[in-house]
Amino acid sequence: MAQRVAIILAAGVSKRMNTKIPKVLHEVCGRPMLSYVLDACRGVGVEKIYVVIGYNSEKVKEQFSDANDIIWVIQPEQKGTAHAVMCCREHLKDFAGQTLVLCGDGPLIRAETLKTVVAKHEAGRAAVTLATAILEDPTGYGRIVRDAYGNIQGVVEHSNCTPEQLKIQEVNPSYYLFDNKILFEYVQQVQPDRVKGEFYVTDALAMIIESGHKVVAVTAVRPEEAISVNSREQLSDTGKIMQRRIQKRLMETGATIIDPPNTWIDAKVRIGQDTVIEPFCCIFGEVSIGRNCRIGPFVYLRNSEKIGDGVTLEAGYSNIERQETGDGRRG
């Protein structure tokens, strides 16, 4: 099995979000966006993750200071995706395995999707494999251009598309798996974009295809996974999708959530078998709830609360109120 590393692009400043917080530290269901991308990489056997950071980099490093599989790489100026990859060259110039290239602002990525990419890459002995998505509204995304036989011919950015190409619904959500040697052979040849002056990974991809190397595009990304967070509205939409995933997982492991749309449960919450969560409960942080409990309705739990087996928390209970007043648990 080939060795595998990952490069995660996480250096950008989000002007549209109007924030001083690094974009990848904005939370989705109680966890920084970057956490989900890191977990997806770990889920496909990545042991070293090169995270490219720039804006407010010390805050990002501090947030993940306990991770021993991250190598931090500074991108002093944000000059595009290919430039960010090139910042990793000194670390990876002698590496002969596979390199995932992903974006840190795509928290809806799943390890299952990356496993599909890896399997396709290895079965086809490809130089590059990228995962694509089919979207009803592909506005803003680079389009996947294929020939009559279905072979990928390139990625055309939305702004450069012809009227015919704008009709293409298969898009590039930026999930790449490269042969590392080939990646760095071509990414260093990328020239700056004439309009923005930035360097793009898609230009390296175009050169790899033109050179005759095998490039495979597999339609493996669910529409929801293609979302990159570039605005507060997208952050909210992403949180709602992640919330459905979290609640589905909890219900599959034995919890009952009576009214999922009117319940909020953070990603780190643990709930035991046969516990019932009534409507309008909000459970944040690293809360642990035992088995055979009944929570709510209108219960508010936060921080590191641990609730044992067989406990009932009545309507309106708040552990914040209990902490402030010193009252014992009600119910």
The one catalytic residue among 16, 244, 249, 330:
16
Residues 6+ apart with CB under 8 A from 198: 79, 80, 81, 83, 192
4: annotated active-site residue: no
Q: Which two tokens stand for residue 329?
A: 């648990």
DSSP state of 310: T
Distance (Å, whole) CA 297 – CA 295? 6
With H, G, I as helix, E, B as strand and everything else as coil, classify residue 213: coil
Strands 170-179 vs 128-134: parallel, antiparallel or unpaired: antiparallel
Name which of 193, 190, 218, 228 is nearest 17 in CA terms: 228
Distance (Å, whole) CA 206 – CA 203? 5
Distance (Å, whole) CA 215 – CA 155? 12
Which residues are catalytically annotated?
16
